Chain A
Amino acid sequence: MKKSALSLSVLAALALGTASAQTTVKIATLSPLSGGQSDLGTQIRNGAQLAVNEYKAQFQKLGLNLQLVAYDDQADPATGTAQARKIAADRQILAVVGTLNSGVAIPSSAALAASRVAMVSPANTANNVTDRGLSNMNRIVARDDAQGPAGANFITGNLKAKKVYILNDKTAYGEGLAKEVEKALKAKNIQVVANEGTEEKSDFSGIVSKIRLQNPDAIYFGGIYNQVGVFIKQLRDAGVNTPVVGGDGLDSSELATIAGTGANNIYFTTVAAPIEALPAARVFATNFQKTFKDQAQGFGAFGYDAAKVVLQGILNAAKANGNKAPTRQQVETAIRKGSFTGLLSGNVSFNSVGDRTAATLYVMNVQGGKYKLATRIPVKPARQ
């Protein structure tokens, strides 16, 4: 297989006369390929690889030899920044798909900004990723400040709750999310009986007693699955079956494992849609399975979408440049200004700071330990 590919390319090179007639352009992925989050990072890399395979022929027509180079950030800001500097030094790389973690995206995009390497993120949700207003940083997922209002909308619209009990884990993530939810609920005149912080990891008996006393219609917990799972288990053990709503901190299969028989009536908002929730993804999932012998997950699909944004951006810039390889700066502008179609998660265009003008949050439901899509909520970024 490899051998024939090699001889083919040699033949192709001979047929074209000189190899220099071909200009190589590269796009990079920056995501964790080793360590605890490598599973998600590899999905992003593989998704992007599928998009590159799909676009190779179109680039070929312009005399461009398209390649993907994968960089490993180990989910670590320092490693990610060092890799970003390497990317900046490789002049053939025109744009980057990445990263998985907001903590890595923020310093890496800053390191890439000076050399005008555009970045399209398939996963970062922290507000500050785009709030800094860098011209090279874009994302195709919803922001954190969309998640609180979306959770609140779900509680009032779908669960029809009139009285809500809010908990948070006293971290920057959980407390911030809980505050956003409280604000949005109060704006709708919904009664918020408490917004209580707890660092407790095992004993929730006091809180459960209070919940039984107050008898709310819904509970919102801004926290991470390992704490919330234990809480839900004890809540259900005490015979309370009130719906529990949370943010993407609950997006883990471990949640159902920890909650055990109590893993019922749980909802959470997340940016990484399950593959089944993306109508166009069936062909993608089959290709993914065939190419990588691995099941495609949400981040694979978003890696694919982010890469398509990058590739269409490069093609647009190349056309504007007289069908020649564009500069990094031209690509950066083409991505921020362009509108991109044919993606799994719908059409993409960016606002002035690089947020997707119309993103979607997905609400998942856990019932009997099984996860399924409950509904999708369209969200707009803070500014247009």
Chain B
Amino acid sequence: MDLATLLPFIVNVIVGGLVLGFVYAIIALGYTMVYGVLQLINFAHSEVFVTGAVVGFEIFRVLAPSPMNGYLKLLIALVAAMAVSGLLNVLIERLAYRPLRNAPKLVPLITAIGVSLILQDVLRIIEGFQGRFDLTYTLPAGFSGKFCAAESSCAAVGNVLRTVGIDLQLKDVILIVVSLLSLGVLNYLVNRTRLGKAIRAVAQDRVTAGLMGIDANRMISATFLIGGALGGISGVLFGMKFGTVNAYSGFDPGIIAFTAAVLGGIGSIPGAVLGGLVLGVIQNLIGVTNVFGSLLHIANLESINASYQRIGAFIVLVLILIFKPTGLLGKSNVEKV
């Protein structure tokens, strides 16, 4: 195998990892937002995210026969998923976390796991009533095509893409664009608005912020609303990218996104994004280590394949926690959210 065939392969593996990383990143934001404000790991976030995926599925299913523009359908799906997941997250906070706010830290953590299990079964029942278990996304026509479907349009994209042999699908590009947009909006919301300022104040010191006239409960609700909405977006993107979800799909990406949030420095917004991207790329690279192993004739590497890609991500996490416990971009107690 020569470099000419290997280079596009490596590039594709890295690009695939980045695309995957964006999904993790945006789920990780949901964990990090809530943690930043309440120091609570919202384990129910993985189900909030699956709820978004289910809402997206229902919207695409209902709108499938209509001749509406595909991007408009996507927009409707995203907005609906944001609304449902955001409100669900607010409701969870109100019913399951707020009454326990002054309890020892372990208590809300256990509640979070309980809420997560309840939501799994509720989702299962809701879809089960309609005789469905694995929800298969019916995407608008054209969404599953290549980024440059025809040779002529490929040329228009530019020869740079072609020479390194990147093979993007249209839905990957949509995924990246939507992720970057949500990240931009979130960044603006947190750093440039009064609401963001108030949330940051509550994150820093809930009691003092209260004395300054900030309604801490409202700000916490707002944080859960924003975190849930991000979960909704990531759910729809996840469904689009991988094609199918079920009520139990949230666990795996949820735990990896949580790892990404810790890797980047939990509580830090850029950290969550960086953590997601790093984990996505690492996972994909570990998954193909055997190819390099067989090229370089290193027998030990040849046995490292997709079986190990999860473990690899967690080994990286452990190493980071040993050598830089605050995570890649985390600063201890200086700035949260």
Contacts and interface: CB of A to CB of B under 8 A. Distances in A.
A175 to B, nearest CB: 10
B162 to A, nearest CB: 15
Nearest to A256: B136
B16 interface: yes
Contact of B20 (A203, A207, A210): A203
Contact of A206 (B146, B169, B288): B288
B306 A196 contact: yes
B74 interface: no
Nearest to A200: B306
B306 A197 contact: yes
A237 interface: yes
Nearest to A196: B305
Contacts of A205: 13, 16-17, 19-20, 284
A209 B309 CA distance: 15
Contacts of A202: 238, 242, 244-245, 249, 252-253
B141 to A, nearest CB: 10
Contacts of B102: none
Given A206-B283, A233-B243, A260-B136, A200 B13 contact: no
B127 interface: no
A170 interface: yes
A201 B246 CA distance: 11
B306 A206 contact: yes
A161 interface: no
Interface in A226-241: 226, 229-230, 233-234, 237-239
Interface of A is mostly: helix
Interface in B128-180: 133-134, 136, 138, 144, 146, 167, 169
B291 interface: yes
A179 to B, nearest CB: 14
Contact of B16 (A194, A197, A206): A206
Nearest to B167: A238
Interface in B256-294: 283-284, 287-288, 290-291
A170 B291 CA distance: 20
A230 B246 CA distance: 12
Contact of A213 (B17, B144, B246, B291): B291
Interface in B213-261: 238, 241-246, 249, 252-253
A207 B287 contact: yes
A257 interface: yes
A268 B305 CA distance: 25
B307 interface: yes
B249 A206 contact: no
A206 B287 contact: yes
A1 B142 CA distance: 59
A230 B243 contact: yes
B306 A230 contact: no
A261 interface: yes
A205 B286 CA distance: 12
A194 B290 contact: yes
A234 B12 CA distance: 14
A258 B144 contact: no
Interface in A214-256: 226, 229-230, 233-234, 237-239, 254
A339 interface: no
A206 B306 CA distance: 8
B310 interface: yes
A253 to B, nearest CB: 11
Nearest to B242: A202
B182 to A, nearest CB: 20
A209 B290 CA distance: 13
A234 B167 CA distance: 13
Given A201-B249, A233-B243, 20 more contacts: A194-B305, A196-B305, A197-B305, A197-B307, A198-B307, A200-B310, A201-B252, A202-B238, A202-B245, A202-B252, A203-B20, A205-B13, A207-B306, A213-B1, A213-B6, A213-B9, A226-B246, A237-B144, A254-B133, A254-B134
17 contacts: A194-B305, A196-B307, A199-B307, A205-B16, A205-B284, A206-B17, A206-B306, A209-B12, A209-B288, A230-B242, A233-B244, A238-B169, A254-B133, A258-B136, A258-B243, A258-B244, A260-B138
Interface of B: 1, 5-6, 9, 12-13, 16-17, 19-20, 133-134, 136, 138, 144, 146, 167, 169, 238, 241-246, 249, 252-253, 283-284, 287-288, 290-291, 305-307, 309-310
Interface of A: 170, 194, 196-203, 205-207, 209-210, 212-213, 226, 229-230, 233-234, 237-239, 254, 257-258, 260-261
